[in-house]
Structure 1
Amino acid sequence: MSSSLSRRSYPAMALLASALALAGCASTHGLAPEGRATDADTLQTARSFGDYKLSDAAFPKQDWWNALGDPQLDALIREALQGNPSLAAADARLRQAQAQANMANDARKPETSLSAQYTGVQLPETLVPPPIGGDLQASTVLMLNFKWTPDLWGGQRAKYEAAVGQARAAEVDAQAARLTLSANIARAYVSLSQAYASLDVANNEQKRSSHLSQLSAQRVKAGLDNQLQLRQSESAIASAKQQAQAAQQQIEALRNALAALMGKGPDRGLDIAPPRLLAAPAPGVPDVLPSELLGHRADVVAARWRVEAASRGIDASKAAFKPSVNLSALVGLASSGLSDLFSNDALLGFGGPALSLPIFNGSRLRSNLEKSDADYDLAVANYNQTLVTALHEVTDALQAARSLDAQVASATQARDAAQAALKLADTRYRAGLGTQLDVLSAQRPLLQLEQQVAALRAQRLAATVDLDRALGGGLTLASPSAQNLSDNNVSKAPTP
């Protein structure tokens, strides 16, 4: 009997062997990703950062904008971070990614379902004679269905890990959206401060020109000057008035912009008071390696998670080249009547393993793996570019801060000298020792220098915002192992 059983099993074994041989046609040979993630520590920064203050405490705090020293700015950012539409969109994308990860995890688990069904059929006597014809034949079925595909090669787990990587990248993106919003508000607030400073400069210029015009009118009445000097002073008043009007228009536009950034209507901007005198802290960078420095940046960490997700996608695509086993079972009760449904004779059962082999779909599998390789290369390229861009932004902000500190000092010194020159020219004019042209000549550079000082101070404050943002804005981020990226940790499973 055993020999008979063996003979009957030969065809099945032969069929299985043939299938395995054909499955070998679906090969990953020649397919591999080309991207290589850059080690951040190979991007040299020592000479570029060498002239700046290095400190373990130079990373910004999460409320980094407090360093600018304006409580109103603190309140505006706190208000904007609550219920802003742009943040709601980022949070929705995060929930989408988390749901995808949960779905990928659920696909790894056994699937069980319970169903109950009652059916009835009555055949006409004209078609089937009695006793079957004309009699209602009823059946009641209770079924428990079980399905499971064991993850023999880790493909399902790889899909789940890829989805988790994308979800973590979306989580970092949501945090990055909050940093971007707070930085944009801070920058707009700095511009509002500059607009108010420009308004003050224009108003001061208008006062100086008005005083000069009054003096000119007195001298014309006394016969010491002619109408030309009076008209020149009136022209200076009109010019200063126009500059004040332009500054006021900029103030209104920036208030409206701040209201929009906060997700509010334009009336909210009308309640924003003039900014206080903002402070610009001395620039500095943490005394750490570039890998740790950039590990605080949301865009870098998100790019790292996407590389990790893409590498898991390659593992999943490779696992599809291998045979899979599906386990299924159906257990239930079936009876023509409810009274017999729970008897031993009503037991219904079906099930067993099923082997699936990729035989004639090798081209599709190779194309899918080729796409996964390309996705990985794209993620690596984006990561490498993000590293370079991040260090570029840090360096730019540092260099801008240092240069602007020097420019503000020089412009302030020049403005003070111009104020002294104007005061001397005005004194000489009042004493009859100088002309109105001397006063106008001294007044013109003072106006330009005051405007320049206001603009440079605003640029210096903007550089502070840029540096805090470039250093990560105080975010605490969980990221995949940098070693995994540097080693291009794509599974090197044997080629099937």
Structure 2
Amino acid sequence: MRSLPSQPPRPISKASGGLFASTLALASVLLVLAGCASVPDATTTAPIDPASLASAQTLKGEAGAWPEQAWWQGFNDPQLNGLMDEAFANSPDMLAAGARLKKAQSFSNQVKAAMEPDASFNASIQETKQSLNMGFPPAFKDFLLDGYHPSTRITVEANYDLDLWGKSKAAVKGAAGQQKAAELEAVVVRQNLGVAIARAYVELNHLYETRDFLADLKHGADIKLELYQARADRHLEPQDTVLRARDEQAQVAGRIAAVDGAIAAQGHLIAALVGAGPDRALTLTRPNLAPADAFALPDDVHANLLGRRPDVLAARLRVEAQGQNIKYTQADYYPDVKLSAYFGLQAIGIPNLTNSGSDIGGIGPAFSLPLFHQKRLDAAYRSAEADYDLAVADYDTALTHALQDVADAANGTRTTLGQVTAAQARRDGAQDGYQLSSARFQRGLATKMDVLTAHANVVTADSALSDLKAQAYNDRISFIAALGGGYAPN
């Protein structure tokens, strides 16, 4: 049998009961006052539903494959591969994207840390003097210290936000969404840089081919001028024919000089894209690209395209993050409740800190509620809604442009393929004509001028075919970029 206590239980102190009652009363008052500031009705715009954008007929699967992450290796040019590696390591665009990602990560970590209990150690020592004219009775003044004395205080303080309305949780989710969006936007920067370098490299290859064709034309113009000059010297050709031939030769020479300048400028562009100085262009050799194979749409393009477009995914995350920002702003309409506590020592004089009775402490809730701030809260809430609508507009734009990019790339590939077929037929015809003229010349049935003219037709056809092949390379790059540039979500 349990023995009865020798003394009655210790009653709850009036101070403790008063604190509890006061807390309940204060909380009740704050909840009533919270009703004075009402949250406005939502006026945001919903994002476009991808299923509502009809594209199944345009984007039909063609048994194609999704591009690889290192898609440029398909051009089988080691120099191009090296330029890509150099750009991803040194380009200012990549450095800027990394800095933006680092900033987003730091902000996300900062917001997460704000949800944790806040604790601090504080210590102070001051020479203080108590006023003797504060209404104390004369007899009590004898107990007051006269003059300056070292007042010492050491405390550990802690605060914790209860987050009753989910404000901190919304901030964490929003910051996490912004961080993930920044990660995806860094992928977009990398893809755009790779596309820019590949296009510049294709153009450099095209310029070298153009120079070859112009060199052939220049050689023919030189021979033509010699023939006309020889005939004019024998009075078999008027002098104006020689002048026209010399002008033709000069025009071709001028075009060669222009292409040489364009090759140098293209090298400077590539050097800048990889984050190097213009001298880097001096080390570039002539490109050696593998033929541009035809690219086909994957069978699951309609179902999985948006999940492979990092720009669309990033825009969607921005929308979700701004949605959390609305929740964060909405929580400002309600009371902010925190728990605060401190414990420590306080005494006059450092040696007295360790004496009995020097301990101090306090614990209890703290409430905060803005009063008469309806207009300010409404303005902040509407501003958050506007940010959300802007994010929705960006997402809708990215979504529709993604579908357009694929449709345009597929259409461009088919169109260029048909043009290449026609240009190849014209080139074959020009080659047949040149061979026929050469054979007729060997039999004395055609002049040297006829052969030179037929050869010029071949060179012109080759140049037109080269233009279309360069377009085919660019179509392939556009196709790869439209399909997400090799991005595959985890």
> If the TM-score is normalised by the length of the shorter chain, which range does it land in?
0.7 to 0.9
Instruction: Assess, with a 3 A threshold, how the Cα gap between structure 1 residues 272 and 464 changes in structure 2: closer, same or farther.
Output: same
State the 1:181 CA deviation.
0.8
Which one is further off, 466-475 or 210-219?
210-219
Q: Within 5 Å, which residues of 2 pair with 1:166-177?
A: 166-177=178-189
Distance 1:99 1:8 in 2: 40
2:118 aligned partner: 111
**2:84 counterpart of 1:77:** yes
Moved more, 41-50 or 325-334: 41-50
The one-letter amino acid of 2:63's match is L
- Give CA deviations for 1:114-133 in whole Å, capped at 9, x if unaligned: 011111136899xxx99978
**In structure 2, what is the equivalent of residue 196 of structure 1?**
208
> Do the aligned residues in 1 keep the contact of 2:155 with 2:345 (CA within 8 Å)?
yes
Give runs of aligned pairs for residues 342-381 of structure 1, distance below 5 A.
342-381=354-393
Decide whether aligned partners of structure 1 residues 135 and 104 sit closer, same or farther in structure 2, where only a CA change above 3 A counts. same
In the alignment, the residues of structure 2 paired with residue 423 and residue 240 of structure 1 have an alpha-carbon distance, to the nearest angstrom, of 24
SS in structure 2 at match of 1:174:
helix
Question: Is 1:45 matched with 2:52?
Answer: no
Match of 1:392 in 2: 404
1:206-221 alignment runs, 5 A limit: 206-220=218-232
The one-letter code sitting in structure 1 at the alignment partner of 2:353 is L
Task: Supply the distance in 1 between the matched residues of 2:283 and 2:146 (Cα, whole angstroms).
Answer: 85
TM-score w.r.t. structure 1 length?
Answer: 0.86
Quickly say closer, same or farther: Cα 1:172–1:475, change in 2 above 3 A.
same
Shift of 1:19: 4.1
Moved more, 268-277 or 356-365: 356-365
Deviation of 1:369 (Å): 1.9
Q: How does 1:254-403 map to 2 (within 5 A)?
A: 254-288=266-300, 290-403=302-415
Letter in 2 for 1:112: A
SS of aligned partner of 2:63: strand
SS of 1:330's equivalent?
strand
Percent identical pairs in the alignment equals 34
- Structure 1 window deviating more from structure 2 (355-364 vs 424-433): it is 424-433
The equivalent position to 2:198 in structure 1, one of 186, 189, 193, is 186
Aligned counterpart in structure 1 of residue 96 of structure 2, from 69, 83, 89: 89
The CA distance in 1 between the partners of 2:447 and 2:251, in whole Å, is: 21
**TM-aligned CA deviation for residue 314 of structure 1:** 1.7
Q: Is the 8 A contact 2:216 2:459 kept in 1?
A: no
Name the stretch that deviates more: 194-203 or 401-410.
401-410
**Residues 131 and 161 (structure 1 numbering): CA distance in 2 closer, same or farther, change over 3 Å?**
closer
- Aligned pairs for 1:47-62 (under 5 A) are 47-50=57-60, 53-55=62-64, 58-62=65-69
The answer for unaligned runs of 5 or more in structure 2 is 1-10, 133-140
* Pairwise CA distance, 1:318: 2.1
Call closer, same or farther: CA 1:277–1:218 in 2, change over 3 Å.
farther
Letter in 2 for 1:20: L
Structure 1 residue 249: Cα displacement: 1.0
- Whichever residue aligns with residue 55 of structure 2, its letter is T
Alignment size in residue pairs:
471
RMSD: 3.2
The residue type equivalent to 2:391 in the other structure is A
CA distance, structure 1, for counterparts of residue 440 and residue 238 of structure 2: 18
Contact 1:310 1:376 in 2 (8 A): yes
Residue identity in the other structure for 2:341: A
TM-score (norm 2): 0.87
Tell me the distance in 2 between the aligned counterparts of 1:86 and 1:8: 59
Give the match for residue 494 of structure 1: none
In the alignment, which residue of structure 1 is the partner of 2:136?
none
Shift of 1:264: 0.4
Corresponding residue SS for 1:139: strand
Structure 1 residues 215-254: Cα deviation after superposition (integer angstroms, max 9, x where no partner): 4445556665454544443333222222211111110010
| Residue of structure 2 equivalent to 1:407 | 419
Question: Kindly tell me: are residues 76 and 11 of structure 1, through their superposed partners in 2, closer, same or farther at Cα, counting changes over 3 Å?
Answer: closer
CA offset at residue 419 of structure 1? 3.1
Look up the SS of the partner of 1:156 in the other structure. Answer: helix
AA partner of residue 464 (structure 1): R
Which stretches in structure 1 are left out of the alignment for 5+ residues?
479-496
